[in-house]
Structure 1
Amino acid sequence: MERRSFVRQAGLAGVLAAGAAPAVVHAQSVIRWRLASSFPKSLDTLFGASELFAKKVSELSGGKFQISTHAAGELMPPGQVVDGVQSGAVEIAHTAPYYFFGKDETFALGCAIPFGLNSRQMTAWMLEGNGLKLMRDFYRQYNIINFLGGNTGAQMGGWFRKEIKSVADMKGLKMRIGGFAGRIIERMGSVPLNLPGGEIYSALEKGTVDAAEWVGPYDDQKLGFNKVAPFYAYPAWWEGGPQVDFFINTKAYDGLSSEYKAIIECASAVAHVDMQAKYDAKNPQALKQLVGSGTKLFRFPKDVMDIAFKESLAVYSDLSAKNPHWKKVYEDFAVFRRDQNLWFRFTEAGFDDFMQSQKL
């Protein structure tokens, strides 16, 4: 007898008695979601994380949970993916939370803020500190639950037409800079512009901007920034360990079985670790190639770093006085950062400082 006919004739009680219910339920549990990314397909590091996530979800579910991945602009503009998830237009997005600090500055704390946490510290705050709980409490008002979706590690400070030799060179500088950092350089006399990755090259080439930052050598080389701006700064004091996230519509997530929720958690963990591994493995060779082709490296002068640090703390203090969401999360973030820096001072920093001075 066909299963459908059997179910109609026997009814639910008969199905349960016959032991056929689990098979029926499993047959009905095929799920298809759409993922909207904020990143272009050309970046196998950033967009690639969403592809790996979807692949693992499919593998872990035996092909029963399918997620189609869509690059920036395919389903919606990269800056609208939060709206897409919030409204239910798509079930999931892969994005950098600080892109949406215009909605509320607290978004930035889920990704990176100037002079924040490095990548290991960020993951520790999220998974073993209060970070994930606090950010999920905040995202709930947007109908979102988040999962860690990767980290680039500390980034480079961007491409400049002219070397920055003092804070005076920041005056009037038009710079493409992502997330929260624009507010800081604005206080330093610069003009921030937040352009999508796909528009940066043409803006630099045409002189619409004097400088631009994206991620680091591997991605920057693929985007060709070295062809239109010869000076490459370090470090990106605004991105010591930026985390990207999977944002999932809460109604869609709540509709999943416990098995599928566990699959989401496991797949996101794989994608999170894999992204940083890719960057750490690919950036060194890309930097060698860039320098070999004429790129000129320079370190931000101390007066630039000092003023940027001072202005950042002033902004955080102002926000804590007027934004209760920010205050709640930032207070916990700041305590965790203080303790982490004390620990890393005696361990990671000491070891790295010695090793990086050796000729190996």
Structure 2
Amino acid sequence: MSVKRRDIVIGAAALATGAGVVGALRPKTAQSSAPNKSDLAAPNISQNMRQFRLATSWPKDFPGLGQMPNYIADMVRTMSGGRLDIKVYAAGELVGGLECFDATSTGAADMYHAAEYYWQGKAKGFSFFTAVPLGMTAAEIMGWIDHGGGQQLWDDLSKGFNIKPLQAGNTGHQTGGWFKREINSLEDFRGLRMRIPGLGGEMIRRLGGTAVTLAGGEIFQALQSGAIDATEWVGPWNDVSFGFHREAQHYYAPGFHEPGASLALGINLQVWDSLSAEDQAIFKAACAAANHYSLGEYTVKNGYWLQVLKTDYGIEPKIFNDDILREVGRIGDEVVTEFAQADAVTRRIYESYLASRNTSRSWTEMSDGLFIKARQIALGQ
């Protein structure tokens, strides 16, 4: 793809926004009737077909994030032989990008696809199910939720909001973000207005900056207008799609705030309970497939678009220095520990998360960590 053509694609993606609310529609079961020609023409669509509305936090068909809900919908439709049909609404088509949780909780939508840390204002425990500073990698958080007791804790937390949660995608390690000015010392964070949600946002506040939560489609305009000075998002693939490199030239790593960001499908609890065990299994399998598919896709696409940033746009990523990393480590531990004291439920989530992180960390650092260092030595930096 030429640079000119790529800029056209980027510009189109940056126009997507999240806004507006429309009326509710509950899932419905079609009435049985005598067979007709239409039935015979589509034998894979049974007469007990159910339709659902899925609201997302993502711009329409945005690479990776915006396509994950479509992938889930396609998997559910295929595995159910067309009985279970999900219509996906991008941010702003049904509700605003940060309103999909409330819409699902109340029944205005049947389900949502988003990042759980967007809801930390409702319950601080939600952040642990996306990412926390210096927390788990993608593989580690998957292990905790599936095999370390995380799913039950997540169910208990979400039940209070009338929602059944499932892992439904992972972007892998995220980058540190795009900045309009260089970040060479802790002093450079003072007065900085940065789009960064979750516990990472609280870290920026304690470093003397201001954290702003914006839906994805709103970020580029905020950078362009000067409403924010910096933003984190995901990684090279999604960042280039939004064109952040055109407004902020300094690209930093690592993303200490989100080492492995897990995404969620939240389903209205009455809708979930109305599904048969077989249909619940279909939803679980579709979400597990999305988790697997998305992590592989992000790994490949981020590598490709990182090279594009370097060769086509002259962006050479920078690394936060050791003094900054030591301080964010101290602050990150402080923030996460304080969040854990919010209530008894969050405390249980924190204790389980921390125990699993420490157990997994010993193996991850010995396996992946040492291997990556060895590969750098063997193949060159």
Compute the TM-score of the two structures, normalised by the length of structure 1: 0.91
Match of 1:312 in 2: 332
Query: More displaced, 349-358 or 221-230?
Result: 349-358
Identity %: 33
> How far did 1:80 drift?
1.0
Match of 2:247 in 1: 228
Match of 1:23 in 2: none
- Within 1, Cα distance between the matches of 2:224 and 2:203? 25
> How far did 1:28 drift?
4.5
- Within 2, Cα distance between the matches of 1:58 and 1:236? 36
Q: Are positions 1:48 and 2:72 aligned together?
A: no
Decide whether the 8 Å contact of 2:132 with 2:336 is kept in 1.
no
Match of 1:326 in 2: 346
> How far did 1:27 drift?
4.7
Match of 2:284 in 1: 265
Match of 2:24 in 1: none
- Within 2, Cα distance between the matches of 1:90 and 1:246? 12
Q: Are positions 1:338 and 2:361 aligned together?
A: no
Decide whether the 8 Å contact of 2:124 with 2:342 is kept in 1.
no
> How far did 1:200 drift?
1.2
Question: What does residue range 18-33 of structure 1 map to in structure 2 within 5 Å?
Answer: 27-33=46-52
Match of 1:60 in 2: 79
Question: What does residue range 279-318 of structure 1 map to in structure 2 within 5 Å?
Answer: 279-292=298-311, 293-318=313-338
> How far did 1:62 drift?
0.8
> How far did 1:191 drift?
1.0
Secondary structure of 1:54 counterpart = helix
Residues 30 and 335 of structure 1: is their aligned pair in 2 closer, same or farther, counting only changes over 3 Å?
Answer: same
Q: Are positions 1:173 and 2:210 aligned together?
A: no
Match of 2:8 in 1: none
Aligned length: 339
Paired residue type of 1:258: A
> How far did 1:317 drift?
2.5
Question: What does residue range 170-249 of structure 1 map to in structure 2 within 5 Å?
Answer: 170-249=189-268
Residues 165 and 4 of structure 1: is their aligned pair in 2 closer, same or farther, counting only changes over 3 Å?
Answer: closer
Decide whether the 8 Å contact of 1:230 with 1:296 is kept in 2.
no
Match of 2:122 in 1: 103
Secondary structure of 1:159 counterpart = strand
Decide whether the 8 Å contact of 1:163 with 1:298 is kept in 2.
no
- Within 2, Cα distance between the matches of 1:216 and 1:337? 23
* Structure of higher CA gyration radius: 1
Compute the TM-score of the two structures, normalised by the length of structure 2: 0.86
Residues 4 and 244 of structure 1: is their aligned pair in 2 closer, same or farther, counting only changes over 3 Å?
Answer: closer
- Within 1, Cα distance between the matches of 2:224 and 2:142? 36
- Within 2, Cα distance between the matches of 1:51 and 1:342? 36
- Within 2, Cα distance between the matches of 1:59 and 1:321? 44
> How far did 1:134 drift?
0.7
Paired residue type of 1:313: D
CA deviation profile, 1:74-133 (whole Å, cap 9, x unmatched) = 100111111111111111100100011111111101111111100000100011111111
Paired residue type of 1:331: E
Query: More displaced, 200-209 or 52-61?
Result: 200-209
> How far did 1:203 drift?
1.5
Decide whether the 8 Å contact of 2:251 with 2:315 is kept in 1.
yes
- Within 2, Cα distance between the matches of 1:140 and 1:4? 37
Decide whether the 8 Å contact of 2:164 with 2:269 is kept in 1.
yes
> How far did 1:42 drift?
4.3
- Within 2, Cα distance between the matches of 1:235 and 1:4? 59
Match of 1:122 in 2: 141
CA deviation profile, 1:268-326 (whole Å, cap 9, x unmatched) = 11111111111111111101111121213111111211111111221222233332221
Q: Are positions 1:36 and 2:65 aligned together?
A: no
Residue in structure 2 matching 1:354, options 374, 378, 381: 374
Match of 1:163 in 2: 182
Any unmatched runs of 5+ in structure 1?
6-25
Secondary structure of 1:150 counterpart = strand
CA deviation profile, 1:221-273 (whole Å, cap 9, x unmatched) = 01001111111000110100010000001110111112211111111111111
Residues 359 and 313 of structure 1: is their aligned pair in 2 closer, same or farther, counting only changes over 3 Å?
Answer: same
Query: More displaced, 318-327 or 268-277?
Result: 318-327
Q: Are positions 1:75 and 2:71 aligned together?
A: no
- Within 2, Cα distance between the matches of 1:213 and 1:316? 19
Decide whether the 8 Å contact of 2:46 with 2:82 is kept in 1.
no
Secondary structure of 1:296 counterpart = coil
Paired residue type of 2:210: V
| RMSD (Å) for aligned C-alpha atoms | 1.6
- Within 1, Cα distance between the matches of 2:355 and 2:149? 11
Any unmatched runs of 5+ in structure 2?
1-31, 35-44
